[in-house]
Amino acid sequence: MASYDLIDKYLATLRAQLRWRGETEDLDSELRDHLYTAAEEQEANGLGRHDAQRAVLDRFGEPMTVSSAFASSGTKGLAVPTRSTKSSGQLAFIAALAWIMVPFGFAGSYAVERSVGEWDGPVIGLFLLGQMSLMAAASLTVVTFIGLFQRHGGLGPVGRTGIGIAALGAAAGLIGWFIYGWGTLIGVGALLIAGAMLRRGLAPRVATVMIGTAGLWAAAVGGTLWLFEAGPRDQYGDYPLVGLTSVGVGCTLLAVGLVGIGRWLWNEEPVENLIPGSATVG
Amino acid sequence: MSGQALKGHLDLLILAVVAGDPAHGYAVIEGLRSRSGDVFDLPEGTVYPALHRLEKSGLLRSEWSIVGGRRRRTYQLTKKGERSLSAEWHKWDNFSTAVAKVLGGTPWPATT
């Protein structure tokens, strides 16, 4: 089989620009078959190898033209990485850290209160740490979701509904002890957004599934422990350990999933950097 | 023909080319060019997103084979694609007939 250096370089450039799309092996094979077949025909018609490749690549289109066609195909907007979506990746890391702090704050507050026997100084401080972390984590997660919405060129009505519900959950996080309220809203919002993302098939699947199912796992673990009446009851008749474990599971899954999503968004080359002189992408 | 004008009809044209025989991307593009008498001349690479979109919509299906030591993806029309092609074809036929009738009664415009 003949080798075509110009075509290989062209495909390497295109592969780099279409990393976001996934299925790069199949796409590479399909486009290579096209370009090699066309080049072989040009050579059979009498062109030299270099000229044959030039002619074929001229007809195929600039890499940016082709990658833009892929990016805008089947979407209402451009499903491309931008500086804005890259920044969302950074926010996802901070959100993940904040989610990890949530169970530490609430569990620490509960443990110290059990030990000293009163709602005072360090107990309140730790509770506020959990509360502030929850507010920060939920807000940053909603902003990350908006970045994911942009990155996919839109996630349809399901994605928009998911972001709206998650935003309500972030607001409900003001009442930190009302776990069933904020936990359910954020969990349902994340589930809808993850479902829309999986349908598009761009984002890392494992991280997306973790974010989408965080609320379900938290509910399943909490429900199971509640059935077994795990831990002591408090003065309100609740089982604090059940709630804390459930929050811990949900927050950890959200944190790990956000790290995966953050790595993906952060590692992508923004298209503005690939287009000389371009500052924004419409 | 400008790429923008062609884009609006690209899906129908691709379905029409694939309707004859299963074809790989290069053959689809060659079919578009030759059957249009070299009028349809898009950057070839931009046809692939349309092929993938049509497959995702269930109008085409693809299979992989090895030809000349290379992996080749071949597309063919699905039943849904056949129905869609038929419906769109009728719409286009009605539209182009109506346009031809309107233009037929108009004198050819002077260009100088």
Q: Which residue has the higher pLDDT, B66 or A111?
A: B66
Which candidate from B25, B53, B64 shows the least CB-CB separation from A34?
B25
Q: Are residues A106 and A167 in the same domain?
A: yes
- ipTM for the complex? 0.84
Measured CA to CA, the distance from residue A153 to residue A164 in angstroms comes to 17
Residues 7-26 of B with CB under 8 A from A: 24-26
Reported as a single tens digit per residue, the pLDDT across A134-152 is 999 999 999 999 999 888 8
Q: What is the mean pLDDT of residues B81-102?
A: 83
DSSP string, chain B: --HHHHHTTHHHHHHHHHHHS-EEHHHHHHHHHHHTTT-----GGGHHHHHHHHHHTTSEEEEEEEETTEEEEEEEE-HHHHHHHHHHHHHHHHHHHHHHHHHHTSPPPP--
* pLDDT above 90: residue B91: no
Same domain, A118 and A65: no
Of B26, B45, B49, the CB nearest to A37: B26
A168, A231: one domain: yes
Q: Where are the domains of chain B?
A: 10-103
Residue closest to A250 by CA, chosen among A146, A138, A144, A155: A138
C-beta atoms of A69 and B46 within 8 A: yes
- Residue A74: its pLDDT value, please? 59
CB-CB: which of A26, A33, A66 is closest to B45?
Answer: A66
Which own/partner contact pairs does A34-42 have at CB distance under 8 Å and 24+ positions apart? A34/A60, A34/B24, A34/B25, A34/B26, A34/B29, A34/B44, A34/B48, A35/A4, A35/A7, A35/A10, A35/A11, A35/A60, A36/A1, A36/A2, A36/A4, A36/A7, A36/B70, A37/B26, A38/B26, A39/A2, A39/A4, A39/A7, A40/A2
Which of A33, A199, A202 to mutate: most B Cβ within 10 Å? A33
Q: Which of B10, B14, B32, B46 to mutate to test the interface with A (most CBs of A within 10 A)?
A: B46
Low-confidence ranges of chain A (pLDDT < 50): 76, 275-282
Cα A204 to Cα A268: distance, rounded to the nearest angstrom: 13
Contacting residues for A23 by C-beta, under 8 A, at least 6 apart: none
Is A101 within the bounds of a domain? yes
* Residues in A touching B49 (Cβ below 8 Å): 69-70, 72-74
The domain at B10-103 falls in which architecture? Answer: Orthogonal Bundle (1.10)
CB B74 within 8 A of CB B65: yes
Per-residue model confidence (pLDDT) at position A279: 36
Structure-token pair, residue A134: 């929850």
User: What whole-number distance in Å separates Cα of residue A249 and Cα of residue B46?
Assistant: 45
Radius of gyration of chain B (CA): 17
The whole domain housing A143 covers 83-267
Q: Given CB atoms, is B73 within the 8 Å cutoff of chain A?
A: yes
At residue A266, the pLDDT reads: 92
More confident residue, B103 or A196: A196
Q: Whose CA is closest to A160, among A169, A174, A150?
A: A150
Give pLDDT, residue B42: 78
Residue A63 in domain: yes
Flag whether A251 is in a domain.
yes
Please tell me which of the candidates A31, A38, A72 has its beta carbon nearest to residue B48.
A31
A228 and A186 in a single domain? The answer is yes
At A162-198, the pLDDT tens digits run: 999 999 998 888 776 677 788 889 999 999 999 988 8
